[in-house]
Structure 1
């Protein structure tokens, strides 16, 4: 794969009931892209502390570049307290301030963006003006802008979200986020209509919505694709949406048909939900096993997998 990707934003530790796990949506996406053999660079910041040193050591151990991970001596490495709510959905307490709130511009970013095709970013990186200013400077230089909206109350404003939506070429969000955003403009009932509203209002060519256990829906240039998702024994859902996005982008780079792209993304998300933590040790061959397991279970129960 020759097209390079840059992931920008939070780099942190998820504190789960089962222990501490590396996380942050941009890092999670970068990790899974790296596992899928995509040329990916992560831009973030950690504190000058043991948590920061631990993240740098892990990235190096995984074979990922740390060249654009800066160190902040004044703010600690990011921490998130995570716990499971109803239906395996995770709830998060994202500590503020953290080092990744203070990502400052580096002149090396200019050449990095010139050499890269995709910039993956989210709204959480805009909760503090320093990282927000750096992100908007990156967006000016970016070619294809991939927005993983990641709304985490109270860490966002709708004004900033609208600014990011106007910049995006590709948007990924979950059902709750879709309802929050689309509901500000119109009272619509179907997922497809809400997606179309955002596509028309903000001029976004590709929008994909993850629907939890019900799979996902993709609107690409006005054409709609649906996938029912894959059955899996869920350990936790931390990072499954990030894995989904990485799977989708890897197939987009491969110029796969939209339906195949969505299928692979759903399998990736399901696979990571079967593990604890956002960045488990796995190999790409397990993705096909997820598909085979789901098909076998569907045949055994003689019931169709629920649609979207």
Structure 2
């Protein structure tokens, strides 16, 4: 796996939606790019968040949340036309989450600025998803920013009906690394092949053959994760936990993966930290619970100690 260790403090740009996840009894800040930014910041990575909120109370509250966590809101635009995004989230008995995503909202209208371009050009990586590309204005801005990025991380989040195969394939053409789940992988390869592919390895090989992607990261919930480069495959199990909800667990996983990758850690350490972070967030309510890096590392130590003790 390509090492990204640098002499300076690593910096990541997260581009796209920020919103409120509205649950029956609580409203939590969310949106995949913001969740990734939140956890990167917790892990000591400098972050620029590129998004937009409305001139409304919901927007004021999101800006206040970012600032309270030490995340810069300088590049979060304010729209006088479109409202801040609020998403109705429903959690089923088996902890699966579905979303009712309204449009258009402020993050559908993120306009390119010179300051955004500079932030991306100076960062070690840009993280972007598929949801924010659903409308032309934000999609055009994203395409412009990607051109100057050093390392492009495509976090696939297929939320029907807010995507098309054409746009997803476009984004795959622009990515260095792709993070997705198994069902998303198999859906994408159905668009790419006239032959039905149900095997994970064959599906990943098809991505590598069709695009310039260098790494594929597949999240598998309670079964952990699998990492692919063009040379290797690495399966890594997760930690057993009691699930609170799964909102944002994949975003937390990605943030930890990138934080360790930017620190130049070996692949096994990177994946261990990433699956631990995903499990840690799944054991709590909401995508962005309040915690410290020490809390995460204590969680990892306890899990490893308990596993060792039970094995003995």
**1:156 aligned to which of 163, 182, 193:** 163
**2:251 aligned to which of 226, 236, 242:** 242
Superposition map of 1:67-86 within 5 A: 67-85=74-92
The more displaced of 5-14 and 219-228 is 219-228
Asked whether the 8 Å contact 1:232–1:290 carries over to 2, the reply is no
**Quick one: distance in 2 between partners of 1:168 and 1:151?**
16
Asked whether the 8 Å contact 2:186–2:198 carries over to 1, the reply is no
Matched, 1:251 2:251: no
Q: How far did 1:21 drift? A: 0.2
Which residue number corresponds to residue 292 of structure 2? 283
Q: Secondary structure at the match of 1:108?
A: helix
Which residue number corresponds to residue 22 of structure 1? 29
Which residue number corresponds to residue 220 of structure 2? 211
Q: Secondary structure at the match of 1:92?
A: strand
**Quick one: distance in 1 between partners of 2:146 and 2:287?**
26
Asked whether the 8 Å contact 1:100–1:131 carries over to 2, the reply is yes
Superposition map of 1:107-256 within 5 A: 107-184=114-191, 185=193, 186-256=195-265
Matched, 1:11 2:50: no
- Say what the alpha-carbon RMSD is for the aligned residues: 1.7
Matched, 1:101 2:108: yes
Q: How far did 1:141 drift? A: 1.3
Asked whether the 8 Å contact 1:124–1:152 carries over to 2, the reply is yes
Asked whether the 8 Å contact 1:232–1:294 carries over to 2, the reply is no
Cα 1:230/1:45, change in 2 over 3 Å: same
Superposition map of 1:43-62 within 5 A: 43-62=50-69
Asked whether the 8 Å contact 2:257–2:273 carries over to 1, the reply is yes
**Quick one: distance in 1 between partners of 2:289 and 2:57?**
21
Q: Secondary structure at the match of 1:10?
A: coil
**Quick one: distance in 1 between partners of 2:221 and 2:92?**
14
Q: How far did 1:292 drift? A: 3.9
TM-score by length of 1: 0.94
Cα 1:263/1:257, change in 2 over 3 Å: same
Which residue number corresponds to residue 306 of structure 1? none
Structure 1 residues not aligned, in runs of 5+: 304-308
Matched positions, count: 303
Cα 1:180/1:297, change in 2 over 3 Å: farther
The more displaced of 119-128 and 176-185 is 176-185
Asked whether the 8 Å contact 2:245–2:283 carries over to 1, the reply is yes
Q: How far did 1:298 drift? A: 4.5
The more displaced of 215-224 and 80-89 is 80-89
**Quick one: distance in 2 between partners of 1:251 and 1:292?**
17
**Quick one: distance in 2 between partners of 1:218 and 1:86?**
30
Q: Secondary structure at the match of 1:232?
A: coil
Matched, 1:273 2:291: no
**Quick one: distance in 2 between partners of 1:270 and 1:128?**
33
TM-score by length of 2: 0.93
Q: How far did 1:183 drift? A: 2.7
Asked whether the 8 Å contact 1:11–1:26 carries over to 2, the reply is yes
Structure 2 residues not aligned, in runs of 5+: 1-7
**Quick one: distance in 1 between partners of 2:146 and 2:208?**
19
Asked whether the 8 Å contact 1:230–1:290 carries over to 2, the reply is no
The more displaced of 158-167 and 284-293 is 284-293
Q: How far did 1:302 drift? A: 5.9
Asked whether the 8 Å contact 1:270–1:290 carries over to 2, the reply is no
